[in-house]
């Protein structure tokens, strides 16, 4: 649910103060303008590679990550930089995520969509401290839509602060997103049971940066993912939580950036989370 505009898009989230999300957003917009959008639907032969089966990287990912790294390091020089493409070359960058400060970046979330010349895709960045996200931005460069959040300060979508939802629908009226990527075989029957009890369960479009705002605003009531790589989820988790939503493991434990191997269930409200989790627990 969107509340009254707190500021004009592109200005400070808090009048008179340049916030951390403002600074992050400026960096993401620069990377989008220089590296991402000029190549959208214009990638040449040889500018798309496969890092592993089904996992693509483009020259735009690589150039955007370099621009973002430079910009974020200027904001908080002491924080480590952990980008998706850098980690593909050096997985040890992910060590010790639970301590210290680190920038977490997905230069293009939804690279498969971007490479195919279709939306959705997004640029995402977050600052984590001791394993918890303290500020984040998600930029849809096609629509210039910005989702921004700061811990204990709130969440904003295109300049309007998101107010927590005042009501929760019954299970049969809910719509959600359910990923089948990396889904454990033991969960197939439980997911089928969930799909049978809700109004609609649609597959992921492989862009968490598009789907977190959908849940936060109630366009979808829940989302379920089985693999939670930090650059895919750290930015969105804070945004959802600051909008009044829930992001937690199926047993109720809170999301932690250092753990990428367990499922995560997102919900617009705590009541929605409990209803969906109950079905998934069997």
pLDDT single digits (tens) 170-180: 999 999 999 99
Q: Could you write out the three-class secondary structure of 43-82? A: CCCCCEEEEECCEEEEHHHHHHHHHHHHHHHHHCCCCEEE
- Say whether domain 171-281 belongs to CATH 1.10.630.10: no
Query: What does the pLDDT read at residue 259?
Result: 84
Query: What does the pLDDT read at residue 53?
Result: 85
108 is in an annotated binding site: yes
Strands (DSSP E) found in the chain: 2-5, 48-52, 55-58, 80-83, 101-109, 122-129, 132-140, 145-150, 154-157, 160-162, 175-178, 200-203, 222-225, 246-248, 264-267
- Say whether domain 20-161 belongs to CATH 3.30.540.10: yes
How does the average pLDDT of the chain come out, rounded?
Answer: 93
Q: How confident is the model at residue 282 (pLDDT cuts 50, 70, 90)?
A: confident
Provide the whole-model pTM: 0.93
Query: What does the pLDDT read at residue 13?
Result: 52
Give alpha helix (H) positions in 153-251.
188-197, 208-217, 230-242
Q: How confident is the model at residue 4 (pLDDT cuts 50, 70, 90)?
A: very low
Give the HSE-up count for residue 140: Cα atoms under 13 Å, Cβ half-sphere. Answer: 21
Residue 6 has pLDDT above 60, yes or no: no
Among residues 166, 182, 171, 176, the alpha carbon closest in space to that of 221 is found at 176
232 is in an annotated binding site: yes
Q: How confident is the model at residue 10 (pLDDT cuts 50, 70, 90)?
A: very low
Q: How confident is the model at residue 5 (pLDDT cuts 50, 70, 90)?
A: very low
pLDDT in tens, 204-251: 999 999 999 999 999 999 999 999 999 999 999 999 999 999 999 999
170 is in an annotated binding site: no
User: With contact defined as beta carbons under 8 Å apart, do 176 and 201 qualify?
Assistant: yes
Give the start-to-end residue ranges of the domains of the chain: 20-161, 171-281
């Amino acid at each position: 649910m969107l509340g009254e505009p707190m500021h004009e898009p592109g200005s400070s989230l808090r009048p008179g103060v340049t916030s951390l999300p403002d600074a992050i957003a400026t960096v993401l917009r620069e990377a989008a303008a220089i590296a991402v959008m000029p190549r959208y639907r214009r990638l040449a032969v040889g500018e798309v590679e496969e890092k592993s089966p089904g996992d693509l990287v483009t020259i735009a990912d690589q150039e955007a990550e370099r621009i973002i790294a430079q910009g974020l390091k200027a904001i908080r020089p002491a924080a480590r930089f952990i980008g998706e493409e850098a980690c593909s070359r050096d997985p040890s960058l992910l060590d010790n995520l639970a301590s210290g400060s680190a920038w977490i970046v997905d230069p293009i979330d939804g690279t498969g969509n971007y490479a195919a010349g279709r939306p959705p895709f997004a640029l995402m960045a977050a600052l984590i401290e001791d394993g918890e996200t303290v500020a984040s931005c998600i930029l849809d460069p096609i629509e210039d839509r910005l989702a921004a959040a700061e811990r204990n300060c709130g969440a904003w979508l295109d300049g309007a602060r998101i107010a927590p939802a005042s009501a929760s629908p019954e299970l049969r009226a809910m719509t959600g997103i359910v990923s089948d990527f990396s889904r454990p075989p033991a969960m197939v029957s439980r997911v089928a049971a969930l799909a049978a009890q809700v109004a609609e369960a649609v597959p992921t479009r492989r862009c968490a940066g598009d789907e977190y705002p959908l849940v936060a605003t109630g366009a979808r009531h829940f989302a379920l993912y089985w693999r939670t790589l930090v650059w895919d989820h750290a930015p969105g988790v804070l945004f959802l939580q600051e909008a009044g939503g829930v992001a937690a493991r199926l047993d109720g434990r809170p999301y932690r950036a250092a753990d990428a191997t367990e499922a995560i269930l997102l919900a617009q409200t705590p009541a929605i989370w409990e209803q969906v989790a109950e079905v998934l627990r069997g």
